[in-house]
Chain A
Amino acid sequence: MLDDKTYGELREIAARYPEPRSGLLPMLHLVQSVEGRVTPEGIEACAEILDISAADVSGVATFYTMYKRRPVGDYHVGVCTNTLCAVMGGDLIFERLKGHLDVGNDETTEDGKITLEHVECNAACDYAPVMMVNWEFMDNMTPESAVQLVDDLRAGAEVTSTRGPRVVTWREAERVLAGFPDDLADAGPAAGPASLVGLGIARDRGWSAPHPESDAGDSSTAGSKTEAVEQADTSRAETETKQEEGKE
């Protein structure tokens, strides 16, 4: 049974929107965080709060792949097997994990720790092959690092996303998706290495967007733009030189 606190939070979600039904997707995320899956009780609760039928709620809950009808392990482990990740090694990783964990797709290990699922493109193709643990990025995986990862998860070792915080449990993750933030936003880097490749090249070669102060809208001003950049560089160089001299 869902407790009063959960009912209160479900109502809180619905109240974020001009029309309460808009809250249904995050409400189902909250149900999963409390129940470990979308339960009949959770469906009834959403239906009651939104004043729609349980069939309507079920229709939604069965449409979206993140909603699970069977209990999910502490860690949902996703392996991208969409074309690019598959070709880069995702298929081999998925095969290795199925054998290592002795589960099929969308099945949970006997100890209840890990649910393995192949997932579709998760928008991290420059880090292929990609895995997700409770929807945190695990970038540039190999079959060996994948096995190590699931062994660590099963052993209860602290696992950190390659571009994020320590991995929380699936239920805790679902609560954040329901719109109740945890305090982990500041963990992890701003960007992973691949996200910064182009920026790094631009910095190395002194490339930038046109200087805003010059009238860049007119191609005839290209020369003055270059001059402006040169001047800027010169003045900065002078300043830095003086600072260096001041230190000595």
Chain B
Amino acid sequence: MTDTLTPVLTDNWGDDRAWTLAAYAARGGYRALDKAFAMAPDAVIEEVKESGLRGRGGAGFPTGMKWGFIPQDNPKPKYLVVNADESEPGTCKDIPLMMASPHTLVEGVIISSYAIRANKAFIYIRGEVLHVVRRVQRAVAEAYAAGHLGTDIHGSGFDLDVVVHAGAGAYICGEETALLEGLEGRRGQPRLRPPFPAVAGLYASPTVINNVESIASVPSIIEHGHGWFGSMGTEKSKGFGIFSLSGHVQRPGQYEAPLGITLRTLIDLAGGVREGHELKFWTPGGSSTPLLTAEHLDVPLDFEGVGAAGSMLGTRALQIFDDTTCVVRATLRWTEFYKHESCGKCTPCREGTWWLVQTLSALEKGQGSEADLDLLLDQCDNILGRSFCALADGAVSPIQSSIQYFRDEYLAHLSNGGCPFDPAAATLFAPEGATA
């Protein structure tokens, strides 16, 4: 049995000046790099494949397999692009990682680029996190100065340049092909696949796009081996991951644990749900993953377990809402978000999210009838699976799941002539004893 929490990526976050090269090197940082250089690139890919690491950006695609898809006989340059556009509502793990230990990411970038034989890598960070951009800029500059980046790194003959690129505000750019469009200086609109980025990505060249946490996990896998990594987690969801608890828990924050931990354990570690209240609903992996309820407290938080419960592990963004929260209000706000962030390329998403907001906001005000719930679900059916990317699919998740679990609460808005909840009671600064 592994321990309940297994800090690896978060292990150095409390160190003095953890973001500096000196602090990172003092813990053995950049040691995995030499170990990787002593291996053939294909052996590095094999090691990551063997580890069972699956993408930590939400989709859970096996990282090593993604790397293996890069056609090495393609004469074009290969690129590594790090998706640091963390924007999924509830998701807040990559930002603290890059703030506290940007060198973990940079070392991962170098090893990963070596494996796929890329000599140019990009770190695409959302623009709205200035200090994180600063820390990553500094880490890259330090890595150049120390000879970890540039030409003939550590005498290996391998060259790598890294560009830190700040985005400009667009949730859609977290979608990998929209991110590539943004990185090419265009509007961030997803591309039709195939061709997949592995074959024709950035500048129509073979490109690997990985999430920050995926890439940051690579140095530890190379240093300690796939067996060590696989000793954590479950059969098909191996390793550790950062679980982000937010909302109505006593101690919200980052908890790094083997995949498969349950929300019951995590909430227990977090000191329980807010005093005097009960868990009502939660997202396992951001707002695009269908809501779950208290009946799912013992679901193993791995890809298979959450899938079997009718949702998705996503980014392990556990947003906790207690009994003071109106699920209709929560769902409407998320829906307004998706409408705002729809890039406009596909009609079902562009028009559909607009209609969802219309129908939902009427219901939230207590207008309309029960038949509007069916209308809403019908709209969802006409949106789900009908667009280029997953944004529209994510948009229907909170609606379908909230109606599934809380149909009566929607109806209560109608019979009540509006929302029966007091929004002040749900706030962090609610007066003692406030009730819904």
Contacts and interface: CB of A to CB of B under 8 A. Distances in A.
Nearest to A120: B337
5 contacts: A83-B333, A128-B246, A191-B100, A198-B243, A218-B231
Contacts of A128: 246-247, 252, 428
A190 to B, nearest CB: 4
A93 to B, nearest CB: 9
A176 B127 CA distance: 10
Interface of A: 16-19, 21-26, 28-29, 50, 59-60, 63-67, 78, 81-84, 86-89, 91-92, 119-129, 132, 134-137, 140, 142-143, 161, 163-165, 173, 176-179, 181-182, 184-186, 188, 190-202, 205, 207-210, 212, 215-219, 222
A119 B126 CA distance: 13
Contacts, number: 305
A184 B130 CA distance: 10
B252 A184 contact: no
A137 B130 CA distance: 9
B385 to A, nearest CB: 24
B408 interface: no
Nearest to A133: B130
A122 B170 contact: no
B159 interface: no
B192 interface: no
Contacts of B6: 202, 207-210
A164 B90 contact: no
B252 A125 contact: yes
A16 B343 CA distance: 27
Interface in B328-378: 329-330, 333-334, 337, 340-341, 343
A120 B87 contact: yes
Nearest to A63: B187
B154 interface: no
Contacts of A134: 130
B140 to A, nearest CB: 10
Contacts of A190: 13-19, 99-101
Nearest to B227: A217
A21 B185 contact: yes
A195 B252 contact: no
Given A64-B168, A135-B128, A84 B89 contact: yes
Contact of A185 (B101, B137, B171, B340): B137
Interface residues of B, number: 105
B167 interface: yes
Nearest to A61: B168
Of B131, B226, B244, B337, most buried by chain A (CB within 10 Å of CB) is B131
Contact of B251 (A179, A197, A207): A197
Given A136-B130, A198-B5, A191 B96 contact: yes
A91 B336 CA distance: 14
Nearest to A46: B185
B287 interface: yes
B137 A125 contact: no
A195 B96 contact: yes
Contact of A64 (B89, B170, B224, B225): B170
Nearest to B102: A185
Contacts of A26: 165-166
A218 B165 CA distance: 42
Contact of A177 (B127, B182, B253, B255): B127
Interface stretch (B55-63, B109-117, B193-201, B419-427): B419-427
Nearest to A86: B333
Contacts of B130: 134-136, 164, 173, 176-177
A135 B126 CA distance: 11
A122 B142 CA distance: 27
Contact of A122 (B2, B129, B183): B129
Contact of B168 (A29, A198, A215): A29
B319 A25 contact: no
Contacts of B86: 123
Contact of A21 (B184, B187, B228): B184
Interface string B397-436: 0000000000000000000000000011011110000000
B228 A64 contact: no
Of B101, B137, B170, B253, most buried by chain A (CB within 10 Å of CB) is B253
B134 interface: yes
Interface in B1-36: 1-8, 10-11, 13-20
A88 B426 contact: yes
Contacts of B272: none
B70 interface: no
Contact of B133 (A91, A176, A195, A208): A176
A215 B224 CA distance: 10
A184 B94 CA distance: 20
Contacts of B340: 120
Nearest to B172: A63
Contacts of A201: 5, 255, 269
Interface in B240-274: 240, 243-247, 251-257, 269-270
B246 A89 contact: no
Given A185-B131, A215-B227, 9 more contacts: A18-B77, A18-B203, A84-B89, A121-B88, A136-B130, A198-B5, A202-B6, A212-B223, A218-B231
A81 B16 CA distance: 33
Contacts of A28: 168
Interface in B152-170: 163-170
A16 B317 contact: no
A29 B166 contact: yes
